[in-house]
Structure 1
Amino acid sequence: MKDLLSVHDYLFAQSDIGDWEGEEEFVTERYNELIHHAWERLDDDLSCERIDEIINGIWEQLRGDTALLDAEHEELMDWVEHYVDSAQDEQM
């Protein structure tokens, strides 16, 4: 079902990210990079609803968290991999 959706539907514009005390551009770029990485890990046969839950869950976990500013790139990528893999395993 993944082919019925587009990763671009889940990306944020800088105006969507909220107030990050002058770091909105950095946070937007970093978040969108995480979404692209998550998208690549999603199974092609996941339902559209489940994809929505997983991708939207990333923002729910990270919004307002200074990890988007403070964490190393690799740490965030590893976190996304674990989050997506765990969420997919829950469905099975």
Structure 2
Amino acid sequence: MKHFVDIQVVLSTPDDLDYWDELAYEASEKLNTILHMLYDRADEDIPTAKLENMLQHVWESWREDGLLLDIDDEDLLDWVDQLLATWDDEDFNTD
């Protein structure tokens, strides 16, 4: 149930991405773009835990990825669509 997930709580700030130093604002904007893409493209009836796990996966996958600022939105949409199509909660390890 997508409406139970408050996307505003998940979004990053530049302070969250201190890895990026002076590019933290741009990195935060790009990470938030990916998070919004995932949220917007997820089915309305997606289980809450599944969506939360996927959003956490986006954070873990992209927050320090050196390609974050170089990848274009079209490629990000493809990445998000692939994630939605292939996601399996059993493969997601929260440890």
Cα offset for 1:25? 0.6
The answer as to whether partners of 1:41 and 1:85 remain within 8 angstroms in 2 is no
Cα distance in 1 for residues equivalent to 2:75 and 2:11: 20
Q: Which consecutive aligned stretches of 4+ in structure 1 deviate over 4 angstroms post-superposition? A: none
Cα distance in 1 for residues equivalent to 2:73 and 2:47: 29
Cα offset for 1:5? 1.7
**Structural RMSD (CA):** 1.6
Q: With structure 2 as the length reference, what TM-score do the two structures score?
A: 0.81
- How many residues in Structure 1 have an aligned counterpart in Structure 2? 89
Q: What percentage of residue pairs aligned between the two structures are identical?
A: 26
Q: Which runs of 5+ in 1 are unaligned?
A: none
Q: Which runs of 5+ in 2 are unaligned?
A: 90-95
Q: With structure 1 as the length reference, what TM-score do the two structures score?
A: 0.83
Cα distance in 2 for residues equivalent to 1:2 and 1:12: 19
Which of 69-78 and 43-52 deviates more? Answer: 69-78
Aligned to 2:17: 17
Cα offset for 1:29? 0.5
Cα distance in 2 for residues equivalent to 1:12 and 1:2: 19
Q: Aligned ranges for residues 26-41 of structure 1 at < 5 Å?
A: 26-41=26-41
Cα distance in 1 for residues equivalent to 2:76 and 2:66: 12
Cα distance in 1 for residues equivalent to 2:57 and 2:30: 16
